[in-house]
Structure 1
């Protein structure tokens, strides 16, 4: 039996909003597995959490760069927000996004690419930045999207300068319409994606594992209602449709008017969405909790 620590109970409580004793029981039932404990609470109707959100824990910046028919986005992390306000660091992240536009989004290839005007690679320039600024940094991820006919629009939320900020989105839009109109549509979709945080473009793109997990939870919730088995299937089908409306971009309600579906908006514009990507700075990275008192004591030699 895995040890159920107070810290683990606290973490589960923060993620689900369930009571402390319920969290402890869920972890005991799940043998300490946090994800299984979340599902256990949901099946019992004790958690309001429909899906997890990544915890914004790391600092740094996200940057986007565009060219005809394609765009790139990168995330580079640092230890503190102070670095994000450093102009040299901003320029570095911006430049790496432009390099990704040329060499692609494979991280090792990107690190090995030449950094302009220095005689160094991107990885070597990053090492130079670490030495100069005095903080650890990491080129975490990159993404390049392209289309045959249309645009890859970009959107940056919480910008520190054009194309550099905290939440970046790429939206690939194909169509025969005027490029400016497609660009406008793509940017509007980018704003929607930044706010609504979809997981998949369409129903067929939903992760089979995520869908199976959701169905398992919904089935248990339906059975707990006490309804006959022949009714349960219809109940689950209805809830799965609701699930798609929450996580699938084309099925979501358009944030700009609060009533249309994204699918309908795109169709009316005579366009097709073929892909999107959303980078939220530090999402999914756990940042160690700092014990200020312990740090002071260590510094003082206590």
Structure 2
């Protein structure tokens, strides 16, 4: 009998097992869905499904650079311990390298063939759940590229080359000395890791964030009872201060706080031998935005004991 793509998809959704193994299971059991589930369980594969609803907020950020582009990925696990697992580290490193071809699109990355395997990247992550013994998720990816220059990478507190819990990319366009440009890019990436800017330029600050600040400043200024014309100037002054705090190019550079990042880049142009433009940055912090389940261990024990 012919196994349809719909059957394979249904079994995958039911078990969390990779497409190829689901197809094999259906072929082996004549298309019987329940028998296919049992077949996968006997092979030790469907235990992935039992883990798929657990919150995965640990894991690793992976960075990979080649030529004039670089990528970041976040692969999550349930416990911090897995981040020190060599099999998991190799998985994340391989996915980071493959991410260069995905253009920052997570679905495109999941669909790419995984090197040395008949599976794609997404299925390889699912397969690894059974091997590693925890729920794993390929959560997000980003890629930056320049026509000429460098995309510098930085991993804070790396547990292995290109792997850690906080990763940064900085794209710098320049025809100047590549090694010196890389060195400057790394310093700026370290600054981004430490400070966490919201945007590259004032124009790129999310409108919602800017409007929220403006509303707060306007209310504070009106409480002073000053004329509207004065209030407007007060608000504009405070907004300039806000941009200095959250915009990368306007921030005081952590390497030399007497300069802004923009001034440091301009000053470096003479040494590097050409104009430099910072064209973008990405900062991934492991698990940010994931709601972690709070476990009440005492309550769990009491419930298990029937109290």
TM-score for the superposition, normalised by structure 1? 0.79
Find the counterpart in structure 1 of residue 278 from structure 2. 273
Q: Corresponding residue for 1:293?
A: 298
- Aligned partner of 1:163 in structure 2 is 162
What is the distance in 2 between the residues matched to 1:105 and 1:229?
Answer: 46
Q: 1-side partners of 2:287 and 2:249: how far apart?
A: 26
Matched with 1:142 is 141
* Aligned residue number for residue 227 of structure 1: 226
Alignment of 1:190-269 (within 5 A): 190-269=189-268
Aligned to 1:233, the other structure's residue is in SS state helix
1:60 is aligned to 59
2: CA distance, partners of 1:179 / 1:59 = 35
CA shift, 1:282, in A, is: 0.7
Cα displacement string for residues 84-122 of structure 1 (whole angstroms, at most 9, x for unaligned residues): 111111111111000001233211111111111121111
For residues 61-140 of structure 1, the aligned pairs below 5 Å read 61-140=60-139
Distance in 2 (CA, whole Å) between partners of 1:285 and 1:254 is 30
Per-residue deviation, 1:131: 1.1
Distance between the aligned counterparts of 1:298 and 1:136, measured in 2? 24
Match of 2:287 in 1: 282
Of 90-99 and 104-113, more deviation after overlay is shown by 104-113
Q: TM-score w.r.t. structure 2 length? A: 0.78
Residue-pair matches, total: 246
- SS of corresponding position for 1:172: strand
Q: Deviations over 1:151-186 (max 9, x none)?
A: 000000021011100100000001121000110010
Q: Which has the larger radius of gyration?
A: 2
How far does residue 299 in structure 1 lie from its aligned partner after superposition?
3.3
Gaps of 5+ in 2: 1-55, 270-275
Deviations 1:50-87 (A, max 9, x none): xxxxxxx9211101001100000000111110111111
**Which segment drifts farther, 270-279 or 226-235?**
226-235
For 2:294 and 2:249, the matched residues in 1 are separated by: 38
Q: Please list the CA deviations of residues 25-71 of structure 1 after superposition, one character each: whole Å capped at 9, or x if unmatched.
A: xxxxxxxxxxxxxxxxxxxxxxxxxxxxxxxx921110100110000
In the TM superposition, residue 267 of structure 1 has moved relative to its aligned partner by 1.1
DSSP 3-state at the match of 2:226: coil
| Unpaired runs of at least 5, structure 1 | 1-56
- Find the residue that maps to 1:161 and give its secondary structure: coil
Deviations 1:114-140 (A, max 9, x none): 111121111111111111122111111
Determine which structure has greater relative contact order: mean sequence separation of CA pairs < 8 Å that are 6+ residues apart, divided by chain length.
Answer: 1
Distance 1:128 1:296 in 2: 32
